[in-house]
Structure 1
């Protein structure tokens, strides 16, 4: 996993999309439970209490206290207390979630709500297999906190429900929303009269101009070529549409040899062939490459929407970083030019063996309200998973551009899931892309290498398969 300034101050690619590959702090010793735990507490359902919360039932909330802190969670608890004043709330803000909670899951005495985030989080695959996670469908079908005529599921951004779905059950709900794109300095572009390109031909033409101005067109987080996968795979999805994305995730034969993927690989190979990637980028860490970019040594860098916050201490005043959507490669793309790769993170769950399941669900209904999400966006500088929560806010240049990108993409926000489902395949893609953009492999060799890895996963009977 990439190094991080904290356990998860601003989650990087693998920490977001490889939840199933997290450090397995829960092992086979976790069982599906016994009958010794107290009966779950519940009350009478009503229009004001759609989930049947017992008004005086205690609620225990465990929050990962990382880069976002835990004040946002406490504010949601305050709203819970306003609705249920007889309830006592036990709030725990911690960092090593897995270490603290593993014994409690083993003993079937888990908290009522868990923010399962950070480098030491609980392993979702084990929790799912042991049936330790409560089904969140009732929450999603309940009326939202602010609008009784709108279900909770209908307030969430694209992909959020699917991100928490395992074998057709929604078992986690992610609170933040990460978007991937290509970043540049708005002030630099304005001073040079450059316009962000909408097509790949425009990108190549602009790269020639940038190089002529004595600036490297691109750099990337060289030690972690997965960062360059994001624009490459986004371009492929735009060309081939969701049929291509699903074929890849479903391990379909020859999926990686599709024209959309080969074409995208050719496009990024051309960046390298024309000398448009900053010399020495391959040897740089994420912090080193991003620092070079902030220093004006390169015009473009691929990254997720955490970049602005991660760079806040070293970004020059007036740099005004913004994120653009990956340019389209063909005129016949199946997804719009505004399409972006996006996924939710900061995973919340209600344990199946919690004492106050109804209270846990109600807490999440409050946390995922527009009111709570809007407060989070203001304090954390990160886009929440609730649609429209950041609308109308005065945001920084980077976060504002991310919000605008999500709005422009609409239903064309998408994500691949193979990274979450199949860690060996994810590594094979990373390695192959590193070879591609450093001129040690052709696009055809890139596709062949990854297809072999996908076929190996497909044929391995020990690997649980998922479909979408």
Structure 2
């Protein structure tokens, strides 16, 4: 096995050149229409084939080599050295790859600031083959796609899976995984970790007080009344930092009520989408929490970690978030040894809801990309096939306490973290009833600061539901009418 490893430390400071490099791939325009982006964030050379990708070397296609990768060319890998670290790559995926392809030298780099490290190489048309594009310095995906800098991953998803040649990679993944990384019908991003969203609650307090886990919104209001009577706050949310977290139960409950088709107009920026009756009803339900003083006092001015920490220390019962919450608040949880967290799906607004209670929002995350100008893109896709094997996915879950986008990969895996175990159980109970929306990924400023701040006002009961709808519509209109923003569409 041949492998070389390099670790790049975080930069000590940011000079003007580094700033300009970051701007070129993070979607920040320096002039009208983003002219700097158009002129600077483009790689390639005279060998381009016209679609932003150079002609890559290839080998013979066979049953053992379905992608036809060259078996003697090096593979350059960049891994974000953040919350997951990079040992899952060096100790699991790379050895698996080299066991099958021993003559391919893996050149591994762990970087803290992916954008600062790689933007000059993208500009020069000499990027690495495989990039874990994550962290605070991650490159803006929509900009990369618009500038033709990413490789089409369709061959990967159409290839046989690592474990079963009769099952494609596409059919081995959880619902919504490919769509999460698709732009205008073409998949450019492999999102590997899988996040389950819902309401996280203090299981200890619920059990000690005999409070039932609510399944409808009326039951939620009844339980909140009982909780508030004890002096404990029923709810927290992520304060001034991220009131948008409350959009997640809002849209999930609306989708359960009326069906997943209500999400399509939201993502497609259709006029009037935010005024759907189910969304209005859900917004009114969320506003009831403020009207009845069911939020932790002062939460509207807190930083998100402060609010979540108070929840973990027992000062509130319910908290909206994704399945990263357990790891994010590990220190606060450790201070409260009796605390045990669990996840519940968002309640039904009505017993007549179109979708069942077990429906959850879940989405693949932690993005991995192959640059269009990669020297060895086929080997990079083969490396992704390794990651998407059952062995590769299970090993990842065991090492970093995260679910993956591979269907069935968590079956039989011993998960000691109670929160993640409950998220796994919720995902299994949901079956095919998994929902998601894409506008935050496609149009980040629409979500934050746009709708984020509007929902914050709703949670403080400073605006009515009608005003909330009107202002959300205005944000969507701004995005829709901005010709400098590349638009995406979804069919269903």
TM range (shorter): over 0.9
Match of 1:30 in 2: 41
Report how far residue 318 of structure 1 moved.
3.2
Match of 1:3 in 2: none
Report how far residue 54 of structure 1 moved.
1.6
Once residues 155 and 284 of structure 1 are traced to their aligned partners in structure 2, the CA distance between those partners, rounded to angstroms, is: 41
C-alpha offsets along residues 384-424 of structure 1, whole Å, 9 cap, x if unaligned? 11111111222111001111111122222121112122234
Distance 1:378 1:146, change over 3 A: same
Match of 1:13 in 2: none
Once residues 325 and 145 of structure 2 are traced to their aligned partners in structure 1, the CA distance between those partners, rounded to angstroms, is: 31
Distance 1:393 1:172, change over 3 A: same
Report how far residue 353 of structure 1 moved.
1.5
- Cα root mean square deviation, aligned: 1.9
The answer for unaligned runs of 5 or more in structure 2 is: 1-9, 11-23, 30-35, 49-53
Match of 1:66 in 2: 82
Asked whether 1:102 is paired with 2:119, we answer yes
Once residues 26 and 349 of structure 2 are traced to their aligned partners in structure 1, the CA distance between those partners, rounded to angstroms, is: 34
Aligned with 1:313: secondary structure? helix
Match of 2:32 in 1: none
Match of 1:340 in 2: 360
Asked whether 1:88 is paired with 2:105, we answer yes
Match of 1:388 among 408, 412, 420: 408
Correspondences of 1:320-335 after superposition (within 5 Å)? 320-335=340-355
2:25/2:41 contact within 8 Å kept: no
Match of 2:258 in 1: 240
Report how far residue 235 of structure 1 moved.
1.1
Correspondences of 1:63-462 after superposition (within 5 Å)? 63-74=79-90, 75-223=92-240, 224-315=242-333, 316-395=336-415, 396-426=417-447, 427-462=449-484
TM-score (norm 2): 0.88
1:179/1:343 contact within 8 Å kept: yes
C-alpha offsets along residues 81-117 of structure 1, whole Å, 9 cap, x if unaligned? 1101111111111111111111111111111111111
2:146/2:486 contact within 8 Å kept: no
Once residues 24 and 406 of structure 1 are traced to their aligned partners in structure 2, the CA distance between those partners, rounded to angstroms, is: 36
C-alpha offsets along residues 416-457 of structure 1, whole Å, 9 cap, x if unaligned? 112122234323321121111111111121112211222233
The answer for unaligned runs of 5 or more in structure 1 is: 1-6, 8-19
Q: Which moved more, 1:395-404 or 1:449-458?
A: 449-458
Distance 1:417 1:39, change over 3 A: closer
Report how far residue 159 of structure 1 moved.
1.0
Once residues 276 and 373 of structure 2 are traced to their aligned partners in structure 1, the CA distance between those partners, rounded to angstroms, is: 45
Once residues 290 and 23 of structure 1 are traced to their aligned partners in structure 2, the CA distance between those partners, rounded to angstroms, is: 30
Match of 1:56 in 2: 72
Once residues 330 and 429 of structure 1 are traced to their aligned partners in structure 2, the CA distance between those partners, rounded to angstroms, is: 25
Once residues 370 and 313 of structure 2 are traced to their aligned partners in structure 1, the CA distance between those partners, rounded to angstroms, is: 44
Once residues 371 and 106 of structure 2 are traced to their aligned partners in structure 1, the CA distance between those partners, rounded to angstroms, is: 17
1:325/1:405 contact within 8 Å kept: yes
C-alpha offsets along residues 250-273 of structure 1, whole Å, 9 cap, x if unaligned? 122211111111000110111111
Once residues 331 and 188 of structure 1 are traced to their aligned partners in structure 2, the CA distance between those partners, rounded to angstroms, is: 27
C-alpha offsets along residues 57-87 of structure 1, whole Å, 9 cap, x if unaligned? 1111111111101111121111111101111
Report how far residue 186 of structure 1 moved.
1.6
Once residues 392 and 186 of structure 1 are traced to their aligned partners in structure 2, the CA distance between those partners, rounded to angstroms, is: 24
Aligned with 1:42: secondary structure? coil
1:24/1:123 contact within 8 Å kept: no
Match of 2:57 in 1: 41
Query: Number of residue pairs matched?
Result: 450
Q: Which moved more, 1:28-37 or 1:161-170?
A: 28-37
Match of 1:464 in 2: 486
TM-score (norm 1): 0.92
Q: Which moved more, 1:451-460 or 1:135-144?
A: 451-460
2:359/2:430 contact within 8 Å kept: yes
